[in-house]
């Protein structure tokens, strides 16, 4: 199952002999207070003009992780961000194909979407998606559940925020992912008790109100607590 163009059909060791393996990447960001997911408008059949996740078949000799990282870089220009294997799906295309899905988190201010005349990428609200090809809505829903769960026990949100941010920005990111408001006092107590972030000693630029204190994640790589 190719989602962004045709590639040589490469089998993965251990896959059934007549099946081929594709990699899909669910790329999330937070923009305008909403969790968004990157989709690609298909320029060929099947599902021509429908939207689907970035992905495609493995290049010869390519590992799953490298294929996912390649697709992420092709679509957003980014590397060294959160990227994790999600799940292995079968028969998303109705023909018995196998798709190994990953999900990634990117700062929308850093992402530079690919510029091309076909297979155009665009951000969509995760809770307001169009009809998708290849049952990709099931993949996105699974990724959303994983992401929400990881907020409870990891620092995964680091990849969605700049190096320095206010606690209000951090809370807004959590709220965008969870799709609900959080109590300000309880949220701040939790993130400081867990030593998730630390103050930088700097404040945001001047405005009508007192500049907010800036924080940073103690670690900018995945940490479980």
What is the 3-state secondary structure of 203-221?
A: ECCCCCCCCCEEEEECCCC
* Residues 20, 1: Cα–Cα separation, whole Å: 8
Section 111-115 average pLDDT:
95
To the nearest whole number, what is the mean pLDDT of the chain? 90
User: 73 in helix, strand or coil?
Assistant: helix
Q: Is the per-residue pLDDT at 60 higher than 80?
A: yes
- Class level of CATH domain 21-150: alpha beta
Q: List the structure tokens of 102.
A: 């990953």
Q: List the structure tokens of 74.
A: 């092709």
* Residues 194, 179: Cα–Cα separation, whole Å: 22
Q: How confident is the model at residue 11 (pLDDT cuts 50, 70, 90)?
A: very low
Q: Is the per-residue pLDDT at 58 higher than 70?
A: yes
Q: List the structure tokens of 150.
A: 């990881």
Question: Minimal CA–CA distance to 67: which of 38, 24, 4?
Answer: 24
Q: List the structure tokens of 170.
A: 């951090």
Domain ranges of the chain: 21-150, 156-217
Section 16-31 average pLDDT:
83
Question: What are the helix and strand counts (H, E) for the chain?
Answer: 4, 9
Q: Is the per-residue pLDDT at 109 higher than 70?
A: yes
Per-residue model confidence (pLDDT) at position 96 = 87
165: how many CB neighbours lie within 10 A of its CB?
22
Which region holds residue 93: left if phi is over 0, alpha if psi is between -120 and 50, else beta?
A: alpha
User: Considering just the CA atoms, what is the radius of gyration of the chain in Å?
Assistant: 19
Question: Minimal CA–CA distance to 173: which of 135, 199, 147, 194?
Answer: 147
Per-residue model confidence (pLDDT) at position 12 = 45
Q: How confident is the model at residue 15 (pLDDT cuts 50, 70, 90)?
A: very low
pTM, entire model:
0.89
Distances (CA, A) of 155 to 148, 223, 225: 12, 6, 8
**Model pLDDT for residues 119-173, shown as the tens digit of each residue:** 999 999 999 899 999 999 999 999 999 999 999 999 999 999 999 999 999 999 9
Q: List the structure tokens of 69.
A: 């990282």
**Model pLDDT for residues 116-127, shown as the tens digit of each residue:** 999 999 999 999
Per-residue model confidence (pLDDT) at position 20 = 78
Whether 113 contacts 73, CB under 8 Å: no
User: In CATH terms, are 21-150 and 156-217 the same topology?
Assistant: no
Least confident of 91-100, 153-162, 171-180: 91-100
Per-residue model confidence (pLDDT) at position 55 = 96
**Fold that domain 156-217 belongs to in CATH:** Arc Repressor Mutant, subunit A (1.10.10)
């Amino acid at each position: 199952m190719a989602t962004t163009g045709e590639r040589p059909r490469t089998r993965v060791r251990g896959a059934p002999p007549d099946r081929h393996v594709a990699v899909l990447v669910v790329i999330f960001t937070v923009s305008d207070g909403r969790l968004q997911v990157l989709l690609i408008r298909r320029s060929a059949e099947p599902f021509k003009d429908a939207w689907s996740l970035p992905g495609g078949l493995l290049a010869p000799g390519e590992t799953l992780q490298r294929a996912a990282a390649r697709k992420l870089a092709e679509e957003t220009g980014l590397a060294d961000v959160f990227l994790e294997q999600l799940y292995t799906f079968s028969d998303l295309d109705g023909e018995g194909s196998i798709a190994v899905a990953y999900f990634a988190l990117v700062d929308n201010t850093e992402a530079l979407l690919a510029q091309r005349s076909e297979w155009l990428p665009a951000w969509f609200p995760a809770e307001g998606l169009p009809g998708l090809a290849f049952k990709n809505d099931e993949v996105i829903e699974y990724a959303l559940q994983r992401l929400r769960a990881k907020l409870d026990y990891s620092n995964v949100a680091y990849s969605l925020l700049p190096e320095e941010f206010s606690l209000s920005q951090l809370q807004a990111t959590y709220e965008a992912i969870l799709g609900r408001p959080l109590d300000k006092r309880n949220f701040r107590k939790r993130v400081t008790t867990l030593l998730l972030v630390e103050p930088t000693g700097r404040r945001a630029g001047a405005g009508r109100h007192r500049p907010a204190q800036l924080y940073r994640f103690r670690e900018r790589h995945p940490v479980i607590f």
